[in-house]
C-alpha cells in the first residue's frame, strides 16, 4: 500500500501569516512566501505595471527582415519564425492578449501551493517552489511527480492532470495523486540566486517536497530537461521511486551504427532514427548550447524583449510540435511563464545539465549501439 499523503498542505492562520508577500532582490514581479517552510496555498498576482510595460514593448516590436528566397532556401523551417508570423504575434500581444484572464484561468483550474525547502547535494541555499497538487478520490491512487523541461512550466501537464486523477475508465484504470512543480526559474518557482543548482540538486529539493506531502513512495514522469532530474531521483532515492517514465531517452548513434548505416545494413527503423537524430542536432538544436555557454548574455537580451523571446521559444516549439497548431495566445502564454521573472533563471538550467552530461554521461547514459536496443 502506498503512503497516501496528507489530505492538504497546512491551512488557517499559520498559512495566512506565511503568505506574507515578499520579493527577492532579483525582482520576481509577483509576491512569493519565501518563509513558508510547509506547503501553503498560493496564488501569484503578477505586477500590473510589469504587464503594462510588457504590452507596451510588444506594441513597439521591431521585426527583422526576411530573405527574399526564404521559402526556396527552407530558411523558415530552420532559421526561425518569419517576419509575418512574428508581426502577427506582436500585434496579438499588444492588442488582444489578456494576461490577467490567463492568470485567473491558471490559478482557477487546479490547487496551487508554495513552499521553501532546504537545499541539498552541495547546494546550501533554500529552494522556493510553486507546485500544483491534485489528489485523486480513488483509494489506491499512486503519487506521481511530473517534471517539465524548457521552454515549459507546470502548464505542460494541464491537459492530463484531470484524466490522471479521475480516469474515465473508472475502476479499471489506475488513478494518481499529481504533483506538478514549476522547476526553479520557471513559471512561479523563483530562480536560484546562487550557482550550483543542477539536476541532482533540483531532485533533492523535489524529493523533500514529496516527503513533506506525505509521499514516501512515488512515481516520476519526465520530459526534456526534467529527464535528468528524474534520473538523479532514481539514483539518489531508489527506495522512494516506484518507476520513472520519460519520453526523452536519447541514444546517440555510435561509430558502429554509423558504419552500418553507410553500408545499408541498418533496419528501416534504425535508419529513420539516425536520420531524425542527425537532423535534430544539425538543424534545430541551437538553444541548448547557447543557453549552456552564455546564459547571461542571451538571458539579458531575451529579458528585455518579450516578442523576441517568443520568437526564440517558437523556434524550438515548431519542430517538436508534431504538427500541433499552436495559437498566438498559447505561444504568448508559454513565453510569459518564462518571461515574468526573467529569461536568465530558466535558460541557465542548461549550464549545469551540460556539465552533468560531460562528467556523468557514462554513469547515467552509457554509450551503446542502436542494434542492442531493438
Average pLDDT over residues 68-76: 69
DSSP assignment of 84-150 equals HHHHHHHHHHHHT--HHHHHHHHHHHS-EEEEEE---TT--S-EEEEEEEE--SSTTPEEEEEE--T
∠ CA 16-22-26, nearest 5°, is 155
Distance between CA 309 and CA 315 in Å, rounded? Answer: 10
pLDDT attached to residue 75: 62
Is it the case that residue 273 has pLDDT exceeding 50?
yes
CB 218 within 8 A of CB 142: yes
**Sorting pLDDT into bands at 50, 70 and 90, what band is 14?**
very low
Going by their DSSP bridges, the two strands 218-222 and 176-181 should be labelled as unpaired
Specify whether the CB–CB gap between 226 and 157 falls below 8 A: no
- pLDDT higher than threshold 60 for residue 263: yes
Q: Which helix (H) or strand (E) holds 273?
A: helix 268-279
Q: CA torsion sign, 206 to 211 to 213 to 218? A: positive
Work out the pLDDT band at 257, boundaries 50, 70, 90: very high
Q: What is the pLDDT averaged over residues 39-61?
A: 98
157-216 tens-digit pLDDT: 999 999 999 998 766 789 999 999 999 999 999 999 999 999 999 999 999 999 999 999
* pLDDT recorded at residue 323: 85
Question: What is the torsion angle, in degrees rounded to the nearest 10, for the CA atoms of residue 132, residue 138, residue 143 and residue 146?
Answer: -50
Rounded to an integer, the average pLDDT of 207-234 is 97
CA distance 340 to 185: 10
The answer to whether the CB of 63 falls within 8 A of the CB of 80 is: no
Greater model confidence, 373 or 123: 123
Domains of the chain (ranges; CATH) run: 12-46+103-246 (3.40.50.1820), 255-373 (no CATH)
C-alpha cell at 363: 554513469
pTM of the complete model: 0.88
CA atoms within 13 A on the CB side of 193: 13
> Rounded to 5 degrees, what are φ and ψ at 373?
-115, 10
pLDDT tens, position by position, 313-358: 999 998 888 888 999 999 999 999 999 999 999 999 999 999 887 7
Pinpoint the alpha helices (H) of 138-223.
161-165, 199-212
Name the CA dihedral angle for 221, 222, 227, 230, rounded to a multiple of 10 degrees.
-30
Q: Provide mean pLDDT across the span 26-52.
A: 95
Helix (H, G, I), strand (E, B) or coil at 261: helix
Measure the CA–CA gap between 111 and 154, rounded to whole angstroms. 12
The Cα–Cα gap between 128 and 166 comes to 29
Mean of all residue pLDDT scores within the chain: 89
For residues 233 and 244, give the distance between their C-alpha atoms in angstroms, rounded to a whole number. 9
Of 35-44, 164-173, 255-264, the one with minimum mean pLDDT is 164-173
Q: Strand, coil or helix: what is 268?
A: helix
Q: How confident is the model at residue 280 (pLDDT cuts 50, 70, 90)?
A: confident
Amino acid at each position: 500500500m502506498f503512503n497516501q499523503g496528507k489530505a492538504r498542505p497546512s491551512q488557517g492562520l499559520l498559512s495566512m501569516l506565511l503568505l506574507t508577500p515578499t520579493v527577492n532582490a532579483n525582482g520576481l514581479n509577483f509576491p512569493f512566501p519565501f518563509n513558508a517552510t510547509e506547503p501553503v496555498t498560493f496564488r501569484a498576482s503578477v505586477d500590473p505595471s510589469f504587464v503594462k510595460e510588457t504590452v507596451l514593448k510588444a506594441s513597439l516590436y521591431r521585426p527583422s527582415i526576411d530573405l527574399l528566397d526564404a521559402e526556396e532556401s527552407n530558411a523558415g523551417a530552420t532559421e526561425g519564425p518569419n517576419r509575418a508570423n512574428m508581426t502577427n504575434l506582436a500585434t496579438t500581444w499588444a492588442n488582444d492578449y489578456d494576461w490577467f484572464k490567463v492568470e485567473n484561468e491558471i490559478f482557477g483550474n487546479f490547487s496551487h501551493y508554495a513552499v521553501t525547502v532546504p537545499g541539498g547535494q552541495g547546494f546550501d541555499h533554500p529552494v522556493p517552489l510553486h507546485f500544483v497538487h491534485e489528489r485523486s478520490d480513488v483509494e489506491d491512487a499512486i503519487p506521481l511527480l511530473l517534471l517539465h523541461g524548457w521552454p515549459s512550466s507546470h502548464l505542460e501537464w494541464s491537459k492530463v492532470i484531470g484524466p490522471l486523477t479521475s480516469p474515465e475508465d473508472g475502476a479499471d484504470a489506475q488513478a494518481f495523486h499529481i504533483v506538478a512543480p514549476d522547476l526553479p526559474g520557471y513559471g512561479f518557482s523563483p530562480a536560484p540566486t546562487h550557482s550550483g543548482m543542477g539536476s541532482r540538486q533540483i531532485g533533492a529539493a523535489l524529493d523533500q517536497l514529496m516527503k513533506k506531502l506525505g509521499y514516501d513512495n512515488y512515481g516520476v514522469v519526465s520530459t526534456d530537461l526534467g529527464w535528468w532530474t528524474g534520473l538523479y531521483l532514481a539514483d539518489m532515492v531508489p527506495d522512494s521511486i516506484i518507476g520513472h517514465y520519460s519520453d526523452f531517452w536519447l541514444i546517440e548513434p555510435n561509430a558502429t551504427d554509423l558504419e552500418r548505416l553507410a553500408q545499408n545494413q541498418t533496419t528501416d527503423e534504425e535508419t529513420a532514427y539516425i536520420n531524425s537524430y542527425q537532423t535534430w542536432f544539425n538543424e534545430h538544436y541551437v538553444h541548448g548550447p547557447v543557453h549552456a555557454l552564455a546564459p547571461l548574455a542571451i538571458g539579458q537580451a531575451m529579458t528585455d524583449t518579450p516578442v523576441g523571446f517568443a520568437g526564440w521559444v517558437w523556434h524550438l516549439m515548431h519542430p517538436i510540435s508534431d504538427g500541433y497548431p499552436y495559437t498566438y495566445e498559447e505561444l504568448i502564454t508559454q513565453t510569459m511563464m518564462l518571461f515574468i521573472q526573467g529569461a536568465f533563471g530558466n535558460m541557465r538550467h542548461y549550464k549545469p545539465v551540460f556539465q552533468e552530461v560531460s562528467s556523468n554521461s557514462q554513469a547515467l547514459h552509457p554509450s551503446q549501439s542502436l542494434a542492442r536496443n531493438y
